């Protein structure tokens, strides 16, 4: 309560008509009770201060006269208020009610604004968390797709390595030697597991190993002029040395001494560009070949896991009937292998392209969601 609103007579406990002596007596009696040194009440100092103010004001004639005038004004205002008729009282009450209602409305609006701000902040945090979870999920899916693509590419490389890269082309002089598929398989089995051996006793054959390491072992033995391979000229069936062989050669080089002489390498020869280049072409005789590669082991399987049937070639090549047919089955098989290799590469490129398109689509969706959230 402000000091201007205190009734100093009530503070001292005297009437408005009290004399100076009565005011002094009342002050002394109350001062003994509320003095801070004697009263343990925490508010004792405040009460004693008000008591001293009342005493000083009422003992001063001018100050007491001004205070009496203030009390008279309040009494007169109260009397006027009491004399208001019912309508004026109602108007006054309505005005006060409207003012109170306006204050309550302001408080409600402020509370609603604070509540809305809180909800917006909460939604912002939740959306940020959900967006982070979605981004993590998209990254996880992208990692899975990349891993699947890498697995597919690795599988394609493994399949390639298990076919053309693991196959050696073996040649010998027909006039000096006569090798059959069984005898060739027995010779090369000492270097590794031979999946198949394709030969028509025409001085050449295709020997397919189970792994590229075994094929490299046989090639390395030939380069070192192994006694069991003196009669053969061996090259890679693909025409070039497989990339995986480079790592195998590096391991062998690091294991050998620095002064050792590198083994003699057999010159790499490329297979004919197409089947017709393997024949002597003449314009005298023409026919449409429909070759079928002989199968070894299971009649339903072909060499190195490839189909037996070789498609017709167009336009039909022209052959000399008197000229000998050289390595027709080998060239056809190599052509079939290369066709499969090209198909694998095409599928791998398509898979990589689909992965890139999927990543771009997910990126566009993420950008659109971010824009919607910002709006």
CATH of the domain at 278: 3.30.70.330
Q: How many domains does the chain have?
A: 2
The pLDDT of residue 348: 67
Whether residue 373 is contained in a domain is answered as: no
Beta strands in the chain (DSSP E): 167-171, 194-199, 204-209, 233-236, 281-286, 318-319
Is residue 71 located within the same domain as residue 206?
A: no
- Predicted local confidence at residue 69, as pLDDT: 93
Residue 31 domain flag? yes
Could you tell me the residue range of the domain that residue 71 belongs to? Answer: 3-83
In a domain, 44, yes or no: yes
Better-predicted residue by pLDDT, 210 or 73: 73
Q: What is the mean pLDDT of residues 326-340?
A: 67
Q: What are the start-end ranges of the E strands in 203-256?
A: 204-209, 233-236
What does the pLDDT average to over 348-368? 81
Q: Are residues 179 and 281 in the same domain?
A: yes
Range in 140-154, 220-234, 303-317 with the lowest mean pLDDT: 303-317
60 lies in the same domain as 185 = no
Q: Is residue 360 part of a domain?
A: no
Looking at the predicted structure, is the pLDDT value of residue 1 above 80?
A: no
pLDDT digits (tens, 9 = 90+) for 152-208: 877 766 655 556 778 888 888 877 777 778 888 888 888 889 888 877 666 788 888
CATH number at residue 57: 1.10.287.110
Do residue 75 and residue 193 come from a single domain?
A: no
Structural domain ending residue among the three candidates 18, 52, 83 = 83
Q: What's the pLDDT at 264?
A: 53
Question: What average pLDDT score do residues 79-100 get?
Answer: 82
pLDDT in tens, 252-299: 887 775 555 555 554 544 444 444 444 444 444 444 444 444 444 444
Render pLDDT for 12-55 as a digit per residue (tens, 0 to 9): 888 988 899 999 999 998 888 888 887 788 888 888 898 899 89
Closest by CA position to 57, among listed 22, 7, 13, 15:
7
Per-residue pLDDT band at 108 (split at 50, 70, 90): very high
Residue 296 DSSP class: -
Task: Give yes or no for a contact between 55 and 34, defined as CB atoms under 8 angstroms apart.
Answer: no
């Amino acid at each position: 309560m402000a000091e201007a609103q205190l009734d100093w007579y009530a503070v001292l406990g005297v009437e408005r008509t009290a004399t100076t002596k009565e005011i002094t007596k009342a002050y002394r009696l109350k001062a003994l009770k509320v003095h801070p040194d004697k009263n343990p009440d925490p508010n004792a100092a405040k009460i004693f201060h008000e008591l001293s103010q009342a005493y000083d004001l009422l003992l001063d004639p001018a100050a007491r006269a001004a205070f009496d005038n203030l009390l008279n004004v309040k009494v007169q205002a109260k009397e006027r208020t009491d004399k208001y008729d019912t309508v004026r009282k109602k108007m006054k009450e309505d005005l006060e009610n409207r003012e109170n209602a306006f204050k309550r409305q302001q408080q409600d609006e402020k509370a609603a604004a604070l509540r809305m701000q809180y909800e917006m902040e909460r939604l912002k945090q939740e959306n940020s968390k959900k967006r982070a979870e979605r981004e993590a999920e998209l990254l996880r899916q992208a990692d899975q797709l990349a891993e699947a693509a890498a697995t597919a590419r690795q599988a394609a490389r493994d399949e390639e390595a298990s076919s053309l890269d693991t196959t050696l082309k073996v040649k010998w002089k027909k006039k000096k030697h006569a090798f059959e598929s069984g005898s060739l398989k027995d010779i090369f089995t000492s270097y590794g597991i031979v999946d198949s051996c394709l030969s028509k006793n025409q001085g050449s054959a295709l020997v397919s190993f189970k792994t590229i390491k075994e094929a490299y072992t046989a090639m390395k033995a030939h380069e070192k002029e192994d006694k069991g391979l003196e009669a053969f000229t061996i090259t890679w069936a693909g025409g070039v040395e497989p990339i995986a062989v480079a790592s195998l050669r590096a391991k062998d080089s690091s294991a050998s001494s620095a002064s050792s002489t590198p083994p003699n390498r057999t010159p790499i020869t490329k297979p004919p560009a197409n089947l017709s280049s393997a024949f002597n072409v003449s314009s005298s005789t023409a026919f449409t070949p429909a070759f079928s590669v002989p199968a070894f082991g299971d009649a339903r399987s072909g060499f190195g896991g490839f189909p037996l049937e070789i498609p017709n070639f167009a336009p039909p090549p022209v052959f000399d009937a008197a000229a000998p047919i050289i390595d027709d089955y080998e060239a056809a098989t190599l052509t079939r292998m290369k066709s499969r290799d090209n198909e694998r590469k095409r599928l791998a490129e398509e898979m990589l392209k689909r992965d890139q398109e999927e990543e771009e689509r997910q990126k566009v969706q993420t950008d659109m969601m971010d824009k919607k959230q910002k709006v």
